[in-house]
Amino acid sequence: MSDFSEKVLSTVKTFDMCTKSERLLICLSGGADSAALLLCLKELGFDVRACHVNHQLRGAESDRDEQFCRELCDKLGVRFDSVRLDVKGYCEKNGLSVELGARKLRYEYFYSFDADKICTAHTLSDSLETTVFDLARGTGLKGICGIPPVRDRVIRPLIECTREEVEDYLALKGQDYVTDSTNLQDIYSRNKIRHGIIPVMKELNNGLYGSYLTTLQILRADSECLEAQADELYKSCRLAKGYDCKILTAAHISIRRRAVMRILDGEGIKYSSAMIADTDKIVQNGGRLNISGELFASSSKGILTFGPLTDPDDTAKSVAVDAMGKYGFEDRTVSFSLIEEPYDLANIQKKFTNCYMDYDKINGVLLLRGRIADEKIRLCNRDFNSDVRKLINKAFRQEDRKSAVLISDDDGVIFVEKYGISDRVKVDASTKRVLVFEIS
């Protein structure tokens, strides 16, 4: 057994990747890494078969790769399958980059096989490139840890081997391989890192990969510890409806944010680092966060919930105004009186606590009431509709919104406190009766 094979076998055992009784699918591109993976696992006595994806992106070169893989498997006596995918058409139809679309289709094909484990040929060199790429974009501990050795059914037996070790192994075996011409061009971010940044890092440290592997082992152990604690926190904060903010807030921020990630994921929400931070903020301080559309995260009375916006201050309570006089609403008093012709139109104007509207433009029953979801009002002398909820939320503190005065008739809201009346009930030259109301 070669030193390379021994190293791969050690990796398989360290990460408990698979056993020799399991069926392994080798994702074979024909490049050096995947060719070495196939040879090595077969040499070690694993039950292997191979598959190849022709992305049809490089014309004759793509067909050459597929034929190489078929001939290699024939030579080794390994079962071989291949598929041709219209990656370009798929990406154009779904608005994806070629790189992302190709990966999505590729893995869908891999998962269609009846195999116990799916083996990809990612190496330590690939992992370092991923770490550098994620650092450049911004990442957390998981991103710094590079490519995981195991993810679900996907295993990576070469993840502790460098690309140089792979090529030395193939030379020892006298095995050739194909080279993707795009890997030689700096048109992709990964190639820029591979050809430009990694060589400089090697100049700074001759033992770059050894140091990186040691660092990975330390960081992965730390990450596993934090993830385990986050799992426990997530389980302990779950309620029948929602999540206990008190339990979450008591945890260290590093554990709490990981638990928040699990909460968002469990709710089927695609999250970003900004959304995690914003959700964590309302966990600690209360409030609500618009996730998307009508979906909100709300934290009230120590409980975090997700769903359409429901405001505890909203109320169906209403008071019918069936005569002139004073009416109580929540902790407010609203007085109504009527002015009939003749009156001085110049003195009819909106003030802060004293408002006027054309009484004869009111339709049906006049009500004092609280907010109802999705209501709109076209305020006086405006040519657009405003969301009543947003107006109230902007003008009143949360604890005061319940007592904000709205007046409506059968056609909807005609007055919002601190904003004024609806344009459809404004006083004009044709007005005969003016309804005056005053809030105290």
Tens-digit pLDDT profile for residues 398-416: 778 878 889 988 888 999 9
> CATH second-level architecture of 3-204?
3-Layer(aba) Sandwich (3.40)
d(CA 234, CA 208): 37
Range with the lowest mean pLDDT among 11-25, 59-73, 328-342? 328-342
Secondary structure (DSSP) of 108-157: HHHHTS--SEEE----HHHHHHHHHHHHHH---HHHHT-S-SEETTEE-T
Q: Would the pLDDT of 345 be above 70?
A: no
SS3 161: coil
pTM score of the predicted model: 0.66
Q: Which of 433, 256, 254 is nearest to 356 (CA)?
A: 433
SS3 93: helix
Beta bridge partners of 191: none
Q: Among the ranges 393-397, 419-423, 429-433, which has the highest mean pLDDT value?
A: 419-423
| CA 428 from centre of chain | 52
d(CA 17, CA 35): 19
pLDDT attached to residue 352: 39
Q: Which of 282, 314, 274, 275 is nearest to 299 (CA)?
A: 282
DSSP structural state of residue 27: E
d(CA 111, CA 376): 50
Range with the lowest mean pLDDT among 49-53, 71-75, 252-256, 401-405? 401-405
d(CA 431, CA 429): 6
Average pLDDT over residues 103-110: 92
Q: Which of 94, 93, 118 is nearest to 108 (CA)?
A: 118
pLDDT attached to residue 42: 95
- For the chain, the structural domain boundaries read 3-204, 239-308, 318-439
Average pLDDT over residues 95-108: 90
Mean pLDDT value across the chain: 89
Q: Amino acid identity of 245?
A: C
pLDDT attached to residue 287: 83
- With a CB cutoff of 8 Å and minimum separation 6, the contacts of 435 are 336, 337, 338, 356, 357, 358, 359, 362
Give the length of the chain.
440
CB 117 within 8 Å of CB 21: no
d(CA 303, CA 1): 59
SS3 90: helix
Looking only at the bridges linking them, the beta strands covering 406-409 and 412-416 are antiparallel
DSSP structural state of residue 184: G
CATH number, domain 318-439: 3.50.40.10
pLDDT attached to residue 350: 44
pLDDT attached to residue 347: 60
The tens digit of pLDDT for each residue in 112-144 reads 999 999 999 999 999 999 999 999 888 888 889
CB 123 within 8 Å of CB 155: no
- With a CB cutoff of 8 Å and minimum separation 6, the contacts of 85 are 53, 54, 55, 56, 102, 105, 106, 109
Q: Would the pLDDT of 348 be above 50?
A: yes
Q: How confident is the model at residue 19 (pLDDT cuts 50, 70, 90)?
A: very high
pLDDT attached to residue 316: 47
Average pLDDT over residues 66-86: 95
CB 32 within 8 Å of CB 164: no
Query: How crowded is residue 130: how many other Cβ atoms within 10 Å of its Cβ?
Result: 19
DSSP structural state of residue 351: -
Cis peptide, bond prior to residue 157, ω within 30 of zero = no
Q: Would the pLDDT of 315 be above 70?
A: no
- For the record, the structure tokens of 11 come out as 């990796």
Beta bridge partners of 299: 287, 304
Q: How confident is the model at residue 354 (pLDDT cuts 50, 70, 90)?
A: low
CB 288 within 8 Å of CB 245: no
Average pLDDT over residues 321-326: 87
Q: How confident is the model at residue 373 (pLDDT cuts 50, 70, 90)?
A: confident
Beta bridge partners of 87: none
Range with the lowest mean pLDDT among 77-91, 152-166, 332-346, 381-395? 332-346
Q: Would the pLDDT of 70 be above 90?
A: yes
The tens digit of pLDDT for each residue in 210-267 reads 999 999 999 999 999 999 999 999 999 999 889 999 999 999 999 999 999 999 999 9
CB 298 within 8 Å of CB 288: yes
pLDDT attached to residue 219: 94
- With a CB cutoff of 8 Å and minimum separation 6, the contacts of 204 are none
Average pLDDT over residues 192-206: 92
Q: Would the pLDDT of 170 be above 50?
A: yes
Q: How confident is the model at residue 314 (pLDDT cuts 50, 70, 90)?
A: very low
What is the percentage of the chain residues whose pLDDT exceeds 70? 94
CB 153 within 8 Å of CB 162: no
| CA 295 from centre of chain | 13
CA atoms within 13 A of residue 126's CA, in its CB half-sphere:
18
